[in-house]
Structure 1
């Protein structure tokens, strides 16, 4: 299998895994169920990902790569893209999976691929004030989404939240 075909196959497997993770949660999603949903062999999943934690670690890395691509452009657009991703269904499913993983491996993968990737990029743009800005913009929205205490915000609500957080950040810095 050439690289393009393998990448396409992995993408299909990971899409199926995201769908099952969102629908069933981490504990109820098996490698066999993912293989069936993706029309792949169970052996392929184990060969490529190692185990269920490895598969979901790959999902975290994929989501983080999408976030990294969104970290270009004007600050408000970067923050809108970031908050949209963090409150979106994939991030919610991954956070719920990490919370359900007793080994802590998914939580560690989320930290390494997410925060430890995003924060240094923002620090390069904003210096030591990057974390404060993230706290003002994200607040408790991510945890409220993961716990089901908040519906997914629409684009207008996210843009307003970012504008409010950036304005507050500017006031605090002055």
Structure 2
């Protein structure tokens, strides 16, 4: 099978797996059921994914790559780093607190007691794919003199992320909070932006 065809087939299998995950939950979803839904042979499924955890790990990585690409585009579209920070929150929340993300986070919570593979995959996506982009933006804000010269970009990024997400992801994974709508995302993003600027903005760049 050519790589293009193989990638397309993998996408079909992963889409079938995610649909079953939403319908049945993590524990009830099996490799056999995924193979049947995707009309794939067990041999193919196990050749590409050694087990259910690795299959869903692949879905998380694919989704993480898409999120990173979207964020990179969002960062590149704005020349003013302060406007970029203001626009970043809704983009981050849109891709990390929607129905897709909630479904995968719930699966990770359940799997944590078994293998922890899914939780580790989500952490890797955040640490290696998304967080460095936020750090880079904070560095740009320091270099532009918008944030104080002694601000550590990584520390500012950690603060911003904590303010932006709060307990939303955990509460959603536990079923205590629904997906955020546009109004919720705008409100939560505006708060994180305002408080981050209050904490780190350089005195000379503060509004009168």
**TM bucket, shorter chain:** over 0.9
Corresponding residue for 2:38? 38
Corresponding residue for 1:14? 14
The answer for unaligned runs of 5 or more in structure 1 is none
1:173 aligns with 2:183: no
Corresponding residue for 1:84? 94
* Shift in Å, 1:61: 0.3
Corresponding residue for 2:78? none
The answer for unaligned runs of 5 or more in structure 2 is 75-83, 139-152, 202-208
**SS of the residue 1:150 aligns to:** coil
* Shift in Å, 1:156: 2.4
Deviation track 1:135-160 (CA, whole Å, cap 9, x = no partner) reads: 11111111111111111111222122
What's the TM-score once normalised by structure 1's chain length? 0.93
1:116 aligns with 2:143: no
Give the paired residue count.
174
Residues 10, 76 of structure 1: CA spacing in aligned structure 2 closer, same or farther, 3 A cutoff?
farther
* Shift in Å, 1:103: 1.3
* Shift in Å, 1:91: 1.4
Q: Which runs of 4+ in 1 moved over 3 A?
A: none
Distance in 2 of aligned mates of 1:148 and 1:2: 41
* Shift in Å, 1:40: 1.3
Contact kept, 8 Å, 1:63 with 1:90, in 2: the verdict is: no
